[in-house]
Amino acid sequence: MYELHRLGWNSFQQLCQTICREVLGQTVEAFLDSNDAGKDGAFSGTWTPAQGEFYSGRFVIQCKFTADARHNLKPSDIRDEIGKVRKLVAAGQCDIYVLMTNAGVSGVQTTKVKSLLHQAGVQHVLIFGSTWIGQQISERKSLRIHVPRLYGLGDLSQILDERAYAQARAVLDSMREDLAKVVITASYGKAVEAINEHGFVMLIGEPAAGKTTIASMLAMAAADRWGSSVLKLNEPAKVEERWNPEEPSQFFWVDDAFGIMQYESSLAHSWNSILPQVRTMLRRGAKIVMTSRDYIYKRARRDLKESAFPLFNESQVVIDVHDLSIQEKQQILYNHLKLGSQSPAFKTEIKAHLPAVAAHPRFVPEIARRLADPTFTKRLYVTEHHLGQFVQKREQLLQEVLDGLDSDSMAALALIYMKKDRLETPISLQEAEEDALRRLGSSLGGCITALESLNGSLVLHQQADGESAWRFKHPTIGDAFAAALARSPDLLGIFLLGSSTENLIEQVTCGNVGIEKAVMVPKALYPKMIARLSEFTASEKYKSPYLSIWGAKWSLHSFLTRRCSKEFLTLYLQTNPDLIDKVCCPGLLLSASSEVALAIRLHAFGLLPEENRKLFVQVVSTYAINGEDVYALESKDIRSMFTEPEFKALVARVRAELLPKLGMVREGQQDGYRSDEPADEYMEHLLESFKTLKDKFGDDAEAVRIIEREIDLATGWISDNEREWPDRAPRSLGTTETIARPHCSRSIFEDVDV
């Protein structure tokens, strides 16, 4: 069932050690150098493998690996060990000889092998072949979780619970190829600890650091250990939509939670809106893993309500590729080359250089994937210098690969980029997108043919959230395409015309506003960009006409606030002067209001007339005095819109007018409660308001007394209205640990070309 011959000698030894620990219940002293006295490991103690069987004494472990899937164990395979075994017996170090092999084992040959070992003086000989090892893997979930590569080397439908496999089949099947190459690292161990403790983990790291790999291992382990249904989703709203309160084993995997290549503020605000629901989901037993590039998460933190969801910090695992040990880097490189699509001749030629590649300071797991794919090595000279450049200039060389593509392939990548790394199949294009393909010298048919030929190298056909889509094989390919856009005005012009406005405004900036990986629209194209913005009146993300219009307005305001320079905004306001009046009268929930953020941005640039600033101040002040929204008291950004006398007057009026009627505000909130909503979620906004008031009037004893009384009453009301949920037994993936190996003179790459 398991393709153990694809493991390689080093990983097979690690598997054997894990079996000794998980199955035999023994901790092996160490796996030693292959030339050290004929033993790959040893332990002392007792072992009862089955009823009526009992072994005691000094055990010696010997591993025999073969890259030939059809090989059967023969006496000749161990003849070189016999002399070493005699010395071990004479030294009193070998009472029981355990031979573990991935070769087939027949009864006749086993008898012959045992006879040779008995003649050497061994009292008991135990031989475990591929069938026995496969049986242990199939029967023991803990073993598979410790060696997650096994998920990629077997039939998932035979490993997993039938129901969990059926629910997660699309996601798991698409992961299988990558799972066969994974390496257990310290970061994976930390991620498991976070899932065990909190049910949530936030994986953060630079591009190509291995975040998605760790997330896929966690998803696989959850499906195996708990029978979880794995849901790979790309939007916060879909997490909320797909959660089933009666299904405690759901595992939610959200890759690039705040944007794939750039920060998308709409995603952070969407997460904020469902954080109360997320807390409920975790309490009910759901598990959630999120990933984000480090520079994207750094921007997202400005908008996320981390105080409302401390797990963003408490359950954060930062994946630093610089923390990978040299052994881990070598194993990553070995796995990709061994299971990649390079020819045996290429592997033989490059084998001697692989230790230096793994030791290069700029080595990341993505380098291993590229070296294993002929698409990236067509022009590579296999010399120490050129391999060093391959690693050192990884971004530049990827761009050169893209520059060498034919027009259909380049158009196919452009189509994926225009669709924000999610080109759903079957492919259906808008007229503007079809026109863009023609300008690129391609067609829909040409793109489909190119996508099929690029599948597995530059692009990947994946299943997620019940839909299939073409995506970049790795987000760094999207980064390289964005760089190509920046270098080519003609290509950028086609991109501006062909992309939907909704996608476009989350990928470009108008002027240099410091957003990493964004495509900057030059001044010459500002008029064209303004024309595109004027067309954007309804968002495709929402089915409701009202929400569609609201979503378009929110996205447009966010774009103008975060992605546009003063020069562009000045030009935009000349053709859209009514925008100023709209942003000065924001609605409630000021912390999430797109009008508030844009008004503050215009004011900072000196583009907001004084009468409009005063109107803004009046509106947000009224909200605070009435107790509807006190965000103006805590936001430093909103504070910048006030003059000093105006803000002092606001604080005084809140103290004099709001605090005496704070109980009425609380009671009014309670009166609007519907019993189908969790009470703590319903009252969260009010309690946040009380906290803001307490912070603001902390030096006023009477004010603090009033506020604390209302906090106690609101908390008591929550307790009285809280629904009783059945207790869920805590679930754990168990502990994980990397297999420590002493220095070994045998190269891990010894059999990479076999």
Position 32 scores a pLDDT of 47
- Residue 439 is assigned to a structural domain of this protein: no
On average, the pLDDT of the chain sits at: 85
191 and 310 assigned to the same domain: yes
211 in Cβ contact with 203 (< 8 Å)? yes
Q: Is the pLDDT of residue 160 over 70?
A: no
Position 312 scores a pLDDT of 85
Q: By residue range, what is the domain housing residue 333?
A: 326-392
> Which is it for strands 250-254 and 124-128: parallel, antiparallel or unpaired?
unpaired
199 and 264 assigned to the same domain: yes
For the chain, how many structural domains are there in total? 4
- Residue 441 is assigned to a structural domain of this protein: no
Report residue 749 as tokens.
């790459």
* Lowest-confidence pick of 34-48, 184-198, 531-545, 729-743: 729-743
Position 419 scores a pLDDT of 86
Q: Is the pLDDT of residue 18 over 60?
A: yes
Q: Is the pLDDT of residue 600 over 90?
A: yes
313 and 188 assigned to the same domain: yes
**Rounded-to-integer distance, Cα 26 and Cα 698, Å:** 60
Q: What is the CATH number of the domain that holds 40?
A: 3.40.1350
127 and 162 assigned to the same domain: no
- Residue 729 is assigned to a structural domain of this protein: no
**Rounded-to-integer distance, Cα 85 and Cα 120, Å:** 6
The residue-averaged pLDDT of 533-552 equals: 81
14 and 92 assigned to the same domain: yes
Convert the pLDDT of each residue in 455-477 to its tens digit: 888 888 887 666 788 988 888 88
Report residue 127 as tokens.
């031989």
**Rounded-to-integer distance, Cα 529 and Cα 279, Å:** 40
Position 31 scores a pLDDT of 47
DSSP-assigned letters across all residues of 617-672: HHHHHHHHHHTS--GGGT-HHHHTTS-HHHHHHHHHHIIIIIGGGHHHHHHHHHHT
- Measured in degrees and rounded to the nearest 5, phi and psi for residue 536 equal -85, 95
Closest CA to 374 of 346, 398, 393: 346
What whole-number percentage of the chain has pLDDT above 90?
Answer: 30
**Rounded-to-integer distance, Cα 459 and Cα 401, Å:** 13
Domain end residue (candidates: 139, 164, 189): 139
342 and 384 assigned to the same domain: yes
Is the previous residue joined to 148 through a cis bond, with omega within 30 degrees of 0? no
- Residue 562 is assigned to a structural domain of this protein: no
Give 556's pLDDT tier (boundaries 50, 70, 90). very high
Convert the pLDDT of each residue in 302-360 to its tens digit: 888 877 788 888 888 888 777 888 988 999 999 999 999 999 999 999 999 999 999 99
Return the higher-pLDDT residue of 736 and 672. Answer: 672
261 and 305 assigned to the same domain: yes
316 and 351 assigned to the same domain: no
- Residue 288 is assigned to a structural domain of this protein: yes
Cα 420 to Cα 260, 441, 502, distances in angstroms: 8, 21, 10
**Rounded-to-integer distance, Cα 268 and Cα 271, Å:** 5
CB under 8 Å to 511, separation ≥6 — which residues? 520, 521, 564, 565, 566, 567, 568
Return the higher-pLDDT residue of 718 and 600. Answer: 600
Where would I find the H helices in 499-544? 501-504, 526-535
328 in Cβ contact with 185 (< 8 Å)? yes
Report residue 162 as tokens.
């039938």
Cα 291 to Cα 256, 274, 296, 380, 612, distances in angstroms: 5, 17, 10, 33, 41
Position 547 scores a pLDDT of 77
Convert the pLDDT of each residue in 401-420 to its tens digit: 888 888 999 999 989 988 88
441 in Cβ contact with 373 (< 8 Å)? no
3-state secondary structure 420-471: CCCEECCCCCCHHHHHHHHHCCCCHHHHHHHHHHHECCCEEEEEECCEEEEE
Angle of the 475-487 helix axis to the 407-418 helix axis, nearest 10: 110
CB under 8 Å to 388, separation ≥6 — which residues? 356, 360
Q: What is the CATH number of the domain that holds 288?
A: 3.40.50
Where would I find the H helices in 30-185? 79-90, 107-119, 130-139, 141-146, 156-159, 162-179
**Rounded-to-integer distance, Cα 595 and Cα 564, Å:** 15
The residue-averaged pLDDT of 555-575 equals: 93
- Residue 571 is assigned to a structural domain of this protein: no
Domain end residue (candidates: 296, 323, 350): 323
Report residue 427 as tokens.
């492919």
**Rounded-to-integer distance, Cα 523 and Cα 728, Å:** 58
Neighbours of 735 (CB within 10 A): 12
Q: Is the pLDDT of residue 138 over 60?
A: yes
88 and 231 assigned to the same domain: no
Give 34's pLDDT tier (boundaries 50, 70, 90). very low
- Residue 683 is assigned to a structural domain of this protein: yes
**Rounded-to-integer distance, Cα 323 and Cα 185, Å:** 9
Position 114 scores a pLDDT of 92
pTM, two decimal places: 0.79
The residue-averaged pLDDT of 391-395 equals: 87
> Which is it for strands 287-293 and 41-47: parallel, antiparallel or unpaired?
unpaired
Position 729 scores a pLDDT of 52
- Residue 346 is assigned to a structural domain of this protein: yes
Give 519's pLDDT tier (boundaries 50, 70, 90). confident
24 and 82 assigned to the same domain: yes
**Rounded-to-integer distance, Cα 682 and Cα 672, Å:** 10
| Sheet containing 200-205: order of strands | 229-233, 250-254, 287-293, 200-205, 316-319
Report residue 664 as tokens.
């009425």
Convert the pLDDT of each residue in 113-134 to its tens digit: 999 999 999 999 999 999 999 8
* Lowest-confidence pick of 106-120, 219-233, 386-400: 219-233
Cα 637 to Cα 297, 565, 641, 685, distances in angstroms: 21, 18, 7, 20
Domain end residue (candidates: 323, 344, 374): 323
197 in Cβ contact with 217 (< 8 Å)? no
265 and 380 assigned to the same domain: no
379 and 284 assigned to the same domain: no
Give 39's pLDDT tier (boundaries 50, 70, 90). low
Count, in order, helices (H) and strands (E) of the chain. 37, 14
590 in Cβ contact with 620 (< 8 Å)? yes
**Rounded-to-integer distance, Cα 28 and Cα 44, Å:** 9
**Rounded-to-integer distance, Cα 743 and Cα 740, Å:** 10
